Each structure stands twice: as structure tokens, then as C-alpha cells.
Structure 1
Amino acid sequence: MKTRAAAATISLFACALFAFSAQAKDKDKDAEFFQTVEGQWVGPGEIVAGKYKGTKFTCTLDGSTPDETAGMTLDGSCRVGIFNQPMKATIARNGGTYKGTFLDGAAGKGLDITGGSVAGDRVVLNITRKQLTGAMLAKFTGDNTLNVTISVRLEDTLIPVVGMTLKRVDNTAVGSIAKN
């Protein structure tokens, strides 16, 4: 009887250790994804729905990652004609998900990032501002191209409202990310 209990305890311990090891590997893959965002990015975008549909803009952003956890900051500006608007998004792993802000967060004129996950060559983030909810998808389509789509939720449907394609313009060396 003691042997069965010991075997069961060892099995539970082994399962817990395996689960912890798998979770650590997933977290390392998350950090690997965000490290590929480091560097300088430039690219066009367009508002594809809503009041400002058809408005085109160009963004210049610097990507960086924190030392202490998986995450990233994109900081720079976007230009529409002669007007220049500062842009900044910061996200960091918080437990098993991601938290952060776009501009000054929902308390100001921006958005809160309330959750998210990394899967291979993409990150999906939950975004909110008051009653508005949605998602931001950032997906690598090559080592030097990052497509970003921001969608808002209308009832049970996500409607794309902003699309952007950023190209790396520096010589930052990056490795490939596993495609899912």
C-alpha cells in the first residue's frame, strides 16, 4: 500500500515538474517572440472602418524589450499629412497573461491592454477603453515585416478598424520564429 502511495506521489511530482518545465519553455518562446520586435520599424497604415475610414498614416517606431520579463515597448510617432502624433505601446507578462497600455491607457486618451498570448509568430492582445473592447493582432510575415491589425468587438464579431505593415529599417539581427 505504501508503495502505491509513493508511486502516486512520485507520479504527481513528475507531472507537476513536467508542467512547470513546459510552462517555462513557453515563457522562453514568448520572450523570443518579443526580442524579434527590437529595432527600428517604419510603415504605412490605414483606418479601414469608422468615422475616419480611408485615413492613411505612416509610423516610425523603436522596439525594445524589458530585461526582467517577456514583453515589449514600441515608441515613436505616426504622421498623417503634416500632423505628427506620438505613439507608445507597452506590454509585459503579468502572471500567465499580458498587461499594458497604449498611449496613456484607458484613463487618458489611450487603451488598456488587459490580456493576451503569444503563439509562434504572432501575439494577440485584448484591448479595452470604457465600453469598447477588441483585439490587436501583431504577426510576423517574415523576419523584417510585422503586420498589425486592431479590431473592435461589435456584439459577437471583431471588426478590423486599423491595419498597418511595419518594415525593419535597421540592421538588428533576428532569428526566425516558428510558424503556427
Structure 2
Amino acid sequence: MKTSAAVAALSLFACALLALPAQAKDKDAEFFENVQGQWVGPGEIVAGKYKGTKFTCTLEGSTPAAATGMTLDGNCRVGIFNQPMKATIARSGNSYKGTFLDGSAGKGLDITGGNVSGNRVVLAINRRQLSGAMQAKFNNDNSMNVTISVHLEDQLIPVVGMSLKRVDTTAVGSVAKN
């Protein structure tokens, strides 16, 4: 009798667990999982000294196993010149930190904050007196736009734009639209 009562209690407990709503997956982690894969596309410098310069980037997107974030690593080409490109970010508290190229201590930028909202991430970037934002937005699972803007007086001015297309067969989940 005691055994059947224990089995019944365990069965009720198991049913109760199954009835609980599944824990929601971290929306930021879902966003960054969509970055995984190979991306290729054109870009252009749209303001400043090199305005009108067109380039093509080939990037590999990955996510770290131990943190919420991403790395886009590869190169961008202007004519016969090839420039390595790398952006790495990871969650730090309720925001994000990371580097573009080798960070502001080298020839790159520091990523000093940011957040994910729906189908886009907006990151604060900084290099000495220069500050701005880098935005990556998914148009769909296989298309992403990246814009880098800098503060000039009281305005945020776009200076670089890229349109990247996924060129591999990485299976991704749908990105929430905002």
C-alpha cells in the first residue's frame, strides 16, 4: 500500500512539474545565436574624410560558450587592400562590454555598454574623445545591417554602413521584430 501511495505521489509531482510553464530562454542569448555563421556583404563610409569609400566584408559570427555575447571576425577589403575586422562583446551585468579590433588601447574602439531589443543590438563605442554607437539589426534570419555612428556636437552621425547576408546553412531561430 505504501509503495502505491509513493508512486501516486511521485506521479502527481511529475504531472505538476510538466504543467509548469517552460522557463523562457534568454532573449539576448537568442539574438546572439542568430549571429552565428558566415556573413558577406558590402559597406560604405558615408561621412568624413573617406566618404564614398566602398568595401566588402567577409565575417564569421560565433557565440562564446560561457557568456551571452558574440564575436564577428574576418576581414574587409577595399580594392586590393585587406583589413582584419573583429568585434567581440559579452554581457557584463545588465549591459555589454567588449572591443572592436584591438580596443582603444590599440587602433580600435572599446565597447562600453549596450542592450538588445527585439531584432537589434545597440552598443556604445568609445576611443579617447570619440564616442558613438554601433547598431546591428536583423532584417530577417539571413540579413543583417550594421551601422556605426559617432557623436558630433549634439548629433549622432552615421559614418559606416554595411549590409550583410548569411552565406552558410546555419540553422537559426527567428528573430523577434521590433
Aligned AA for 1:115?
G
Q: Tell me, in whole angstroms, the C-alpha distance in 2 between the residues paired with 1:156 and 1:28.
A: 34
Q: Could you say which residue in structure 2 is the equivalent of 1:102?
A: 100
1:69: Cα distance to partner?
A: 1.4
TM-score, normalised by the number of residues in structure 2: 0.86
Q: Could you say which residue in structure 2 is the equivalent of 1:70?
A: 68
Q: Tell me, in whole angstroms, the C-alpha distance in 2 between the residues paired with 1:165 and 1:60.
A: 11
Q: Looking at CA atoms only, which structure, 1 or 2, has the larger radius of gyration?
A: 2
Q: How does 1:52-131 map to 2 (within 5 A)?
A: 52-131=50-129
CA displacement, residues 98-118 of structure 1 (integer Å, 9 cap, x when unaligned): 000000000000000000000
TM-score, normalised by the number of residues in structure 1: 0.85
Q: Tell me, in whole angstroms, the C-alpha distance in 1 between the residues paired with 2:86 and 2:177.
A: 27
Any unmatched runs of 5+ in structure 1?
A: 1-23
1:68: Cα distance to partner?
A: 1.2
1:144: Cα distance to partner?
A: 0.2
Q: Stretches of 4+ moved more than 3 A in 1?
A: none
Name which of 156, 169, 172 aligns with 1:171. 169
**What value does the CA root-mean-square deviation take over the aligned residues?**
1.1
1:175: Cα distance to partner?
A: 1.3
Answer 1 or 2: which has greater helix percent: 1
CA displacement, residues 79-111 of structure 1 (integer Å, 9 cap, x when unaligned): 000000011100000111000000000000000
Q: Could you say which residue in structure 2 is the equivalent of 1:32?
A: 30
Any unmatched runs of 5+ in structure 2?
A: 1-22
Number of aligned pairs? 156
The percent identity for this pair of structures is 79
Q: Secondary structure at the match of 2:26?
A: helix
Aligned AA for 1:114?
T
CA displacement, residues 10-39 of structure 1 (integer Å, 9 cap, x when unaligned): xxxxxxxxxxxxxx95x8100000000000
1:156: Cα distance to partner?
A: 1.6
